[in-house]
Amino acid sequence: MPEAPLLDVRGLRVRFNAQVEAVRGVDLTVERGQTHCVVGESGCGKSVSSLAVMGLLARGAKRSAAHMRFDGQDILGLSDTALQRLRGDRMAMIFQEPMTSLNPAYTIGSQMAEALTRHRKVGKQQALDRAAELLTKVGITAPGLRLAQYPHQLSGGLRQRVMIAMALMCDPELLIADEPTTALDVTVQAQILRLLRDLQAELGLAILLITHDLGVVARIAHKVSVMYAGEVVESASATDLFAAPRHPYTQGLLGCVPIPGKIKRGDPLGSIPGTVPRIADGFTGCGFRDRCAHAMPQCAVSVPQRDDGAGHRHLCHLS
């Protein structure tokens, strides 16, 4: 029997107020040792979905799901304390801007050590030794010096490496990375993606990576979910999705990025006119219909889920 996925979320919904539903029935699975990328434009619900999984939604937001399992355990009904124990221990998260997680008033060493001592019975020196070991693992030289520095003394690329090292302090099985390379320049971006791939190969990490960048997806994803207006409109293995995208939105997204071998120098890139709509209560049909060149009357009424039986699914009247 195949092993159950490490993270298995079914029918996730997030509502911010009575009128607006930001996430509408999302399914997500992350297999052990693999990377699942969730891709889409700003406002499509991808970051909100990851925050909902971690139990980090803003006050007032409501989440519900048919089920949300981590390593077979239901995490939807966990108390705040139990969820806090899981976070930073078996599930860790890194963000686009490391300064949102790093405290400018404390040294890198004390923050990394605390990430371990909060969850494990270890002394400060043992935690600092682990921190130095992980800084070396993420490619930071002179770890002793870095541990004594404050976040503002590091470059953006170094801070993101520190965040990754800090996330690994308790040896998590799942790393959720929300736009981890967006704020970095292209060279550093490539280094961080290579680092995540290498760490995954070495540690068997499962990664849920949130991005708006299909170039990042092409480099790192095993599986991809394309989100639009709070729904997953297409999901497939990365190979299948790039070879044969089925949903008009995915096709539009792929038309906007230069893909080696598929586009010639000087060819114009496409664009998708319009913006992601806010979905109000009582909305029916396809959320993409105002931007879709293939929209037909039935798209305003319903939208079928199509499944090729081999793991490639999309929400659309077109087959």
Enumerate binding residues for ligand SF4 (CB under 6 A).
247-248, 286, 288-289, 292, 294-295, 299, 303, 316-318
Residue (195 or 292) nearer to ligand SF4, CB: 292
How near is the Cβ of 300 to ligand SF4 at its closest, in Å? 8
Give the DSSP H or E segment for 241: helix 238-243
Of how many residues is the chain composed?
319
CB of 26 to ligand SF4, least distance (A): 17
Rounded Cα–Cα distance for residues 111 and 147 (Å): 9
Vertex 182: Cα angle to 180 and 184 (nearest 5): 95
Q: What is the CA radius of gyration of the chain?
A: 20
Q: In the complex, what is the shortest distance from the CB of residue 294 to ligand SF4, in angstroms, rounded to a whole number?
A: 4
State the nearest-atom distance from the C-beta of 283 to ligand SF4, in Å. Answer: 13
Strands in 174-178's sheet, in edge-to-edge order, are: 91-94, 174-178, 206-211, 35-39, 223-228, 231-237, 313-315, 305-307
Report the DSSP beta bridge partners of residue 43.
none
Give the per-residue SS3 of 273-299. CCCCCCCECCCCCCCCHHHCCCCCHHH
Q: The tokens of 266 are what? A: 């000087």
Angle between helices 108-117 and 156-167 (to 10 degrees): 20
Closest to ligand SF4 by CB, 70 vs 228, is 228
Q: Quick one: 142 or 318, whose CB is closer to ligand SF4?
A: 318
Closer to ligand SF4 by Cβ: residue 99 or 300 = 300
If we measure between CA atoms, which residue out of 227, 244, 229 comes closest to residue 290? 229
Closest CB 316 distance from ligand SF4, rounded Å: 3
Closest CB to ligand SF4 among 102 and 316? 316
Closest to ligand SF4 by CB, 192 or 236: 236
Give the nearest distance from C-beta 245 to ligand SF4 in angstroms. 12
